[in-house]
Chains A and B, each alone.
Chain A
Amino acid sequence: MYENSIIGIEPANLMKEAQKLKDEGYRIVQICANKVNGFELSYSFDREHDMKTLRMIIAEEDEVMSISHIFFPAFLYENEMKDLFGIKITNLVLDFNGNLYKLAQKTPWNPQN
């Protein structure tokens, strides 16, 4: 039976937890944002078919440090969150500055932004 778990973390611990998973041999497989009261961010990692998802809630105005310096492929997911939700992600290895997708409506999941 393979693991598929969701683990709640504090936003301040994201980098530490991501580095820990990297050291344990995990790789990033997806990042998902969801508009709740603020944003719910889910970072999923895989190691030999076991999947762990780190889950954290942030306020709309909060900034989130990019984990792309730890997991390079994260830059695409983070740029996507920036474009679609208007989440403030900082320190990306490759920042499209809101231009990853050519959108008719800016940050469609968060129109007020």
Chain B
Amino acid sequence: MGKRTIIPFGPQHPVLPEPIHLDLVMEDEVVVEAIPSIGFIHRGLEKLVEIKEFTEYVYVAERICGICSFMHGMGYCQSVEHGMNLTIPRRAEYLRTIWAELSRVHSHLLWLGLLADGFGFESLFMHSWRLREKILDIFEATTGGRVIFSVCKIGGVRRDVSNETLQSIIKTLVDMEAEVKELTDVFINDYTVKSRTVGVGVMSLQEAHDLGAVGPMGRASGLVQDMRLLGYAAYDDLDFAPIVETAGDSYARTVVRIREIFQSIDLIKQAVAKIPDGEVSVPVKDVPRAECFERLEQPRGEVIYYTKGIGTKFLERVRVRTPTFANIPPLLHCLKGCDLADVPILILTIDPCISCTER
């Protein structure tokens, strides 16, 4: 056994857009243990529920994360609606599904860019984010916002999207597909990219299960776990099966996300083909009196929203279990045995969102 040293990694590091700290216990160049420290940006957003009415809290939920903000709003609304036995119009559920899948496309493109930036492939980074801009343009055209949309509300959605606009979204996505294919072929086939990802940070199926891995992190190890199978929103009407790989390494996690981009585009096409006409919201005439655990599939994995109403306009408790929080134990496992030079890329492959994690 070589001499052990501890190398502090983060909270500030070129590959980290947000702060997380790891004490890396090293033997020569190999990590033998990683001890995490988080909590640099805890904002107490769950506690804000004490002073925000349940209809207002959706704006807070959306601000948990700047990437999957829409799906935080959606998760909160679904949890409250189910707790109130409130049925929202079917068209609203379809619109939520379409915005959720667009969020997945833009999140995965953003992540691909960050990964490319992490191993120094700057042109790949720029092309990933160039394509992502087209999704943000769709958000702006349909919601008025590019990051925070405020389009979800208890009882449905605030805005309808015309069928002509939905068709133009499909046209944009179809045009994009070829470009995304060209881009992602580099991630899948390029020798230098593969040399940084294949066989790095391997996690077995059993380990992914036991360590609580969620989202692409778990599915890349063969874990068939995707909350869209629960059939919330319009997913019960759509032809859907989770994307699963089995190698469990950084490459497999990349491939899962790439395949999910194309799957999301397909789901949007299905949703646009099936979306019914009608209202997009119903009036809310009561206050929440029950509790509900709601589970959704965000781009990074499963998010759990717990809301508890007590018959007043203020909820007693909101609790958000975000995907990155769940993926920290799997990350600690994957870091064991890896080279120091692979640590930044390995951290990126869980697609960490520390704002989400700490709320």
Contact = CB atoms under 8 A, between A and B. Distances in A.
B224 to A, nearest CB: 8
A19 interface: no
A27 B42 contact: no
Contacts of A91: none
A73 B212 contact: yes
B210 A27 contact: yes
Contacts of A2: 230
Contact of B35 (A46, A94, A109): A94
A66 to B, nearest CB: 14
Nearest to A36: B316
A47 B209 CA distance: 9
Nearest to A53: B293
A113 interface: no
A76 B328 CA distance: 9
Contacts, number: 73
B47 interface: yes
Interface residues of B, number: 33
A73 B304 contact: no
14 contacts: A2-B230, A4-B295, A27-B209, A28-B212, A44-B304, A48-B224, A51-B295, A71-B212, A72-B210, A72-B329, A99-B39, A101-B39, A102-B42, A103-B42
Interface string B299-310: 000101010100
Interface residues of A, number: 31
A71 B210 CA distance: 7
Interface string B34-46: 0101111010100
Interface of B: 35, 37-40, 42, 44, 47, 209-212, 224-225, 227, 229-230, 291, 293, 295, 302, 304, 306, 308, 316-317, 319, 321, 325-326, 328-329, 358
Contacts of B230: 2, 49
Contacts of B225: 46, 48-49
Given A2-B230, A109-B47, A73 B42 contact: no
Contact of B316 (A34, A99, A103, A108): A34
Which of B212, B229, B306, B325 has the most chain A CB within a 10 Å cutoff? B212
Contact of B229 (A30, A49, A71): A49
Nearest to B42: A101
Contacts of B227: 49
A38 B225 CA distance: 35
B308 A34 contact: yes
B316 A30 contact: no
Interface string A12-51: 0000000000000001111010100000001010101101
Contacts of A108: 44, 47
Contacts of B35: 94
A48 B229 CA distance: 10
B40 A102 contact: yes
